[in-house]
Structure 1
Amino acid sequence: VSYNSYVILDEKTVVMDTIDVRKTEEWLKNLEKALNGRTADYLVISHMEPDHAANIQKLCAMYPDLKLVATMQTFNMLPNFFDIDRLAERKIVVKEAQTLPIGKNTLQFFMAPMVHWPEVMMTYVPEEKLLFSADAFGKFGTIDHDDDWVSEARRYYANIVGKYGVQVQNTLKKLAGLDVETICPLHGPILTDDLGRYLDLYNKWSSYTPEEDGVLIACASIYGHTEQACEKLADLLKEQGKKVEFVNLNRVPVSEAIGLAFKYSSLVLAASSYDAAVFPSMELFLLELSHKNFQNRKIALMENGSWAPTAAKTMMKYIEQMKNITLIEPVITLKSRMNAQNEEQMKDLAEQL
């Protein structure tokens, strides 16, 4: 993942956040080059998470007259991490829509609580139509590799911010009134083209609306029999004209599976029974989904158990905690491997999905 810090050069110089401790030396060299002999007048603290805030104390020591610009919640949190000399005279507490002139340009601050910590704020520069969006609109992956923005941004959103859809919706309503041509996030590339697309995706993700009408089959198989049944179901769904994606929970990082679950309208959970419950990779997936407020989906279940199937019962405990879930019947139970009856059940399931 990339960690982004920005510098504004105006009559006053502004540093927008610091950097993760693992990149301190590289960041300081880049900062010195950007300032080109000038001092740093302001440090805007968008977010206190250590991947962006690790060098606040170091920067304050380097620039004795540096002013810190942040919310009151940030200043309440700051002593938990650092001992800042003369903090009381350094701090500038900003509130909703407050402005700070820095020369030709103006900084305007908008609170974004729980996107994804309580102290988060965004900074808008109206003269440049530019938004410093904190963690919002960020993505996994590096900025020097041309990967798919949507898949990595979705995975980032679902795993980092996914729980806080209501708060993201509230923030999007604030941003709707701003004229924005450039978005500068704390992770990933600067966004300048087709911003409506990014805003639309964030609206869908934060309202738990599927991006696509399709089915994700999430499988936790032990010896391969459950996976074979999933492959059969995938073929039947494709015959129905449905878009299908398969994820092996034993092989794929759970963060990828979470991202894909946010993508599609339907989810098939297929797992082996294990220790009178469900195989651990499936339980971790469901635990993470429940943490992220996963909702508004169709879900179907397939379990496997050679003598006492328990997977479906365990999976249902998690599903019952989720909002607006349509459970597709029947629950398919395999006894070690699929049989002719299972195949007929899958045909019915495929039609319903």
Structure 2
Amino acid sequence: MSTEETDGAIELSSGVYWVGAIDWNGRDFHGFTTPGGTTYNSYLIVGEKTALIDTVKSPFAGEMLRRISQIIDPSKLDYIVVNHMELDHSGSLAELKKQTDAKILITKRGVDILNGYFRDSGSENWDLEVVKTGDQLDLGKKTLMFLEATMLHWPDSMETFLKEDRILFSNDGFGQHIATSKRYDFEVGDVLPDAAEYYANILMPFHMPLLRYLGVLNELGIEPVQIAPSHGIIWKRDLQKILKAYGSWANGEVREKVLVIYDTMWGSTEAMANEIVEAVRAAGVEVKLLHLRKNTRSHIMKEMLDAAAFAVGSPTLNNGIFPTVGDFLVYLKGLRPQKKTAVAFGSYGWGGGAVKIVEQELKSSGIEVIEPGLQVRYRPYEKELEMCRKLGEQLAAVAKKK
């Protein structure tokens, strides 16, 4: 069965099918910019009995049901495995339950979330079974093993391993937000940058649970030959590449790389940013200049993933920080990147304040801050530009030490 057949279910292995949905025009995922769209991956397992792993976002229920119907009558479904109750995974659950009495397998923490979302659909009367790590479901010639993945990235999160086919249905782990008619990594080229952006914006704060989870996979001797996430393509050829990348990201590994992130009103903060960038470049360290109104937060956080140091620049507006800088710092605080050193800089007119506020916000995000930051009144002249260059050299030296 061709993986280019966008209207059909796609067989991943004997009796294992992708029956999800493609969101070609999705451009925003609760604040995460998705210029390439996304997919909502649902998987049908057919043994002597049948199980569906996750549903799809509710507007795409018909697409999922159509694909399931190409393999089995949805009313004949025996089990629904709920890996995650977030609505991009479970949104079509109530619609599916109108057609089937299938038993739902879910983690203990997922039950309360399920009833919170679907009580008005009669969820309290649905047939549920709570599962935990190591529990197994025998479908006849197909065996599912359940693996709790608490806080990757919700309390209820779980992953499911199909033992005979060695397919890991990895929930939000290893995903990417891309829409494509192809289903496998080797069919679409290098998707590691998309996976990095996904990790940086969704899983970055949960590096400790991730490291514990990777340890559980080793302890249980789980060595998948396919990793099938809830979004994006399925990993088959580049399994070791993505597993190695996740280990590196979770451990907060960085390289000689500096980011200069800023916004500007009348060009003074931008002039400072350019001078800092030039000094970092001259020191032989990779550097990227990121204007906050010309780069999405999600892209900036992808670049942050392996950066050793960064600078945040803001003009002072109404005795505070520029709105786009404030927005970015709130986003940064939620993601709490590891092992970073940062510095604040900016310009002001009759009254300063932005640099101190940026420093405070960085500290509250767990970032090591170089103090004092650099403030320039009105516009930078040669003396101030030299101070910017010194600051760039300092950032480059920090990056080289890490």
Normalised by the length of structure 1, the TM-score is: 0.92
The structural deviation recorded for 1:300 is 2.1
8 Å CA contact 1:101–1:107 kept in 2: the answer is yes
Q: Which residue of 1 aligns with 2:275?
A: 232
Question: Matched residues in 2 for 1:37 and 1:207: separation?
Answer: 43
Question: Matched residues in 2 for 1:137 and 1:67: separation?
Answer: 27
Alignment of 1:203-352 (within 5 A): 203-210=247-254, 212-323=255-366, 325-328=367-370, 331-352=373-394
Aligned residue identity for 2:56: I
The structural deviation recorded for 1:308 is 1.9
The answer as to 2:217 corresponding to 1:175 is yes
Q: Percent identity?
A: 27
Q: Is the partner of 1:349 in helix, strand or coil?
A: helix
Q: Is the partner of 1:296 in helix, strand or coil?
A: coil
Q: What's the CA shift string for 1:88-147, capped at 9, x where partnerless? A: 672222111111111112100010111111111100112111100011111122134847
The structural deviation recorded for 1:332 is 2.0
Question: Matched residues in 2 for 1:303 and 1:147: separation?
Answer: 41
The answer as to 2:70 corresponding to 1:70 is no
The structural deviation recorded for 1:305 is 0.6
Deviates more, 1:279-288 or 1:341-350: 341-350
8 Å CA contact 1:295–1:322 kept in 2: the answer is no
The structural deviation recorded for 1:294 is 2.3
Q: Is the partner of 1:302 in helix, strand or coil?
A: strand
Question: Matched residues in 2 for 1:128 and 1:2: separation?
Answer: 23
Question: Matched residues in 2 for 1:20 and 1:297: separation?
Answer: 36
Deviates more, 1:341-350 or 1:238-247: 341-350
Q: Which residue of 2 aligns with 1:157?
A: 199
Q: Which residue of 2 aligns with 1:118?
A: 155
Alignment of 1:4-153 (within 5 A): 4-35=41-72, 39-64=76-101, 66-83=102-119, 90-144=127-181, 146=188, 148-153=190-195
Match 1:201 to one of 245, 254, 266: 245
Question: Matched residues in 2 for 1:35 and 1:206: separation?
Answer: 40
Question: Matched residues in 2 for 1:338 and 1:287: separation?
Answer: 28
Deviates more, 1:184-193 or 1:304-313: 304-313
Question: Matched residues in 1 for 2:123 and 2:392: separation?
Answer: 66
Q: Is the partner of 1:307 in helix, strand or coil?
A: coil
Q: What is the count of residue pairs matched by the alignment? A: 350
Q: Is the partner of 1:68 in helix, strand or coil?
A: strand
Unaligned runs of 5+ in 1: none
RMSD between aligned alpha carbons? 2.1
Aligned residue identity for 1:132: F
8 Å CA contact 1:113–1:120 kept in 2: the answer is yes
Q: Is the partner of 1:233 in helix, strand or coil?
A: helix
8 Å CA contact 1:112–1:167 kept in 2: the answer is yes
The structural deviation recorded for 1:338 is 1.7
The structural deviation recorded for 1:329 is 5.2
8 Å CA contact 2:68–2:74 kept in 1: the answer is no
Aligned residue identity for 1:101: D
The structural deviation recorded for 1:36 is 6.3
Normalised by the length of structure 2, the TM-score is: 0.82
Aligned residue identity for 1:34: I
Q: Is the partner of 1:138 in helix, strand or coil?
A: coil
8 Å CA contact 1:257–1:285 kept in 2: the answer is no
Unaligned runs of 5+ in 2: 1-37, 183-187, 397-402
Match 1:188 to one of 200, 215, 232: 232
Question: Matched residues in 2 for 1:111 and 1:3: separation?
Answer: 20
The structural deviation recorded for 1:87 is 5.7
